[in-house]
Amino acid sequence: MDPEAPNILHSLSQRASWSRVNEKGVFPGVSTVLNWSIWGEIGERGTRRAAFELGLFSEDELEPPDSVDEWMWSIFYGRPSANVGSWRHLYERGLTASGLGGEAQRQVFGDVSSRESVAVAPDRRAEVAERRPAALVLASEGMRGLRAGVEQWWRATTSEAAWGDAKRCEARFAEAVDWFERADPYHIMVSLFATEAVTGISAAAERAGLPEATNALMVGYPGMEEFKMTVALWDLSRGRLTLETFLASHGFHGAQEGEIASPSWREDSGPVVSLAKRYESLAESEDPRRREASASETRRLLETELRAALPAHERIDFDDTLARAATFLPLREAGRATLTIALDAMRAQARRLGTHLAKRGALAAPEDVFLLTRGELLELPGHLREVVEERRRLREIYARFELPETWRGMPPKQPLVVGEESHSHREAASLAVGERLEGLGASAGVHEGTARVVLDAHELGEDFDPGDVLISAATDPSWAPFFLIAGAVVIDTGSNISHAAVVAREMGIPAVVSVVAASLTLRTGQRLRVDGSAGTVEIIG
C-alpha cells in the first residue's frame, strides 16, 4: 500500500486550513483503524446533523461533501484533524454575533490563522434565530437524558455476565455504536452553544475594560464531569469510597481514552490506585471541594463587577450569556463523557471479539481486531490476515514522523528523534535560565515550581511532587486528577476551552496552553515561573 495514497487513515487536501490543537489531546498518536472508523464518519455526520438542528446547515448539507476540504474533520497520516475554515464558517453563519467568527475560532483553536469568511444570507440568520429556542431545549435535555442513560447501560454491557459468544458481542458492539451516534449531535450542539457563551463573555469583558476576567468567569459551575471524578478519587484516598464504587462511575476513563485500543481504568485500575495513594499525602485543605467553592465565589463577584461596568442596555444580554455558560459548559464535558462511555463499551466488546477471532485462527492475535473498521468487525472481509498486516505496516510508517499543529493543504512531515525519557521528539534545543516561552494564558495566577515533562499519563508516578509544574504535549480527561497535585500546567497545544484550560481553572492553578514545543524545550528539573495571566513560562533555575 502506498502510504501517500488516500486510505482509511489518510486523506488529501488541496487548500483547507487544518488544526490538531484540540484533536491532539483526544488522539495523541496515530489512530487505529477501528478508532477512526468510529470517530471519523460518525463525527462528520453528527456535526452536520447538529448544524442542521441549529439552522446553520440546510437539509442538502447533511451528507458529507465529496471534497475533503469541505469536511469538518479528516485524517492525515493517521492523525485526526479539524478543518479550521469549515468551523469558522459555521460560527459566522449565525452561531455568534456578526463579526465574531474570528473570536470564536480563537477560543476553540487558539489562533486566527484561517481568515476565510463566508457571506451569510439574511434568511440563514433568520432561520437560526427561529430555531434557537427549540434548539437550546433540545441540546440541553437531549444531552442530559443520554448521559443519564448511558452509564447504567455501560455497567451492564461491560460486566462479565454480559459477555457471551461472538454474536452477543457483535450485538452489544452495535448497541454501543448506536449510543455514540445518538450522542454525538447533542454533544456538538452543546459544544457550539458553549463556544458561543465563552465568545460572548470574552467580548463583554473586552468592552467593559476587564479582559482579564474572562477565564475566571468560566469556572465554579456544579456538575463538571472531571471535577466530580477528582472528588471521587479524593474520597477514595480517604476511605470514603471503595475502588469498585469508583470504577463503577469512572472506570471508562484511562490514558489516551479517545483511542479504543488503549486500556481504560475498568481494565487496568493500577493508575487509579497509584493516584489515590498520592492523594493520601495531601492535606485536607487541598480537598477539591474547597477549591470549587473558592472559584465559584470569585466568579460570582466578577459577574457582579463586570455587569456593573457594562452599559445598562447590554446587561440583559450579558445575563443571558452567563446563564448559557452555566448550562452548556458543564454539559460540554458531559457530552464528552457520554461518547467516552460508549467508546469503552465498544472497547470491551471489540476485545472479546478479537479473542474469539484469534482462537479460531482468523486473526494472529486478539489486538489485531483494532486494525479492522467497525463495518468489517461485524462482517469480516476476505483475506483478513493480509488486510490486517497491510494496515499494521501503514501505521508503522506513519508513526515514524510527526505533523505540525496547524497547516494548509497537505501537512509537512516533521522528523522524530529520541528525546528525554526515551520518547520520540522533534529536535529542539533546551532553554537556558532567563529565557521565556509564550503561549495563551488560560488560567490566571503565578506559580514557581519544578518542571516535570510528562508525555504519557502512565508516567505520572512517585517522582511527581505536589507543586510541580506539569508540562505535556496534550492532556485528556484522564489527566484531570493530577491537576490537583500540580502547581501549574504548561501544554504545547490547546485553546481557551481545551481540556487543560478547563480543568486548570476548576482546580484554581495557573495554566498556559498553546506553548509551541514546550515539552521539547523545557526539561524535567528546571525551575519555572508560570504566569497564567500573561501567558508566559520563564526558566528561573
Domains of the chain: 17-208+315-396 (no CATH), 424-539 (3.50.30.10)
- The three three-digit cell numbers of residue 48, written as one number: 452536520
Cα(92)–Cα(56) distance, rounded to whole angstroms?
9
**How many C-beta neighbours within 10 Å does residue 320 have?**
12
DSSP assignment of 86-151, as one string?
Answer: HHHHHIIIIIS-TT-HHHHHHHHHS-----------HHHHHHHHHHHHHHHHHHHHHHHHHHHHHH
3-state secondary structure of 480: helix
Distances in Å between the Cα of 23 and the Cα atoms of 13, 405, 474 are 18, 9, 9
**Residue reference for cell 474570528:** 102
Strands 488-491, 469-472: parallel, antiparallel or unpaired by DSSP?
parallel
pLDDT per residue over 450-504, tens digit each? Answer: 999 987 776 666 678 889 999 998 888 888 888 999 999 999 887 787 888 888 9
Buried residues in 69-90 as b, exposed as e (16+ CB within 10 A): bebbbbbbbbbbbbbbbbbbbb
Rounded to whole angstroms, the Cα distance separating 24 from 516 reads 13
pLDDT tens profile 11-57: 999 999 999 887 887 888 899 999 999 999 999 999 999 999 999 99
Neighbours of 297 (CB within 10 A): 11
Mean pLDDT of all residues in 401-420: 82
pLDDT tens digits for range 313-361: 999 999 999 999 999 999 999 999 999 999 999 999 999 999 999 999 9
Contact partners, residue 209, CB within 8 Å, separation at least 6: 309
Q: How many other C-beta atoms are found inside a 10 Å radius of the C-beta of residue 111?
A: 18
Determine contact, residues 83/73, Cβ cutoff 8 Å: yes
Q: What SS3 state is found at 503?
A: helix
C-alpha–C-alpha distance, residues 425 and 21, integer Å: 17
pLDDT of 381 over the 70 cut: yes
- Entry pTM: 0.90
Taking residues 160-175, what's their average pLDDT?
84
Using DSSP, state whether 400 is helix, strand or coil.
Answer: coil
Q: How far apart are CA 476 and CA 234, in angstroms?
A: 19
Per cent of the chain over pLDDT 70 is 91
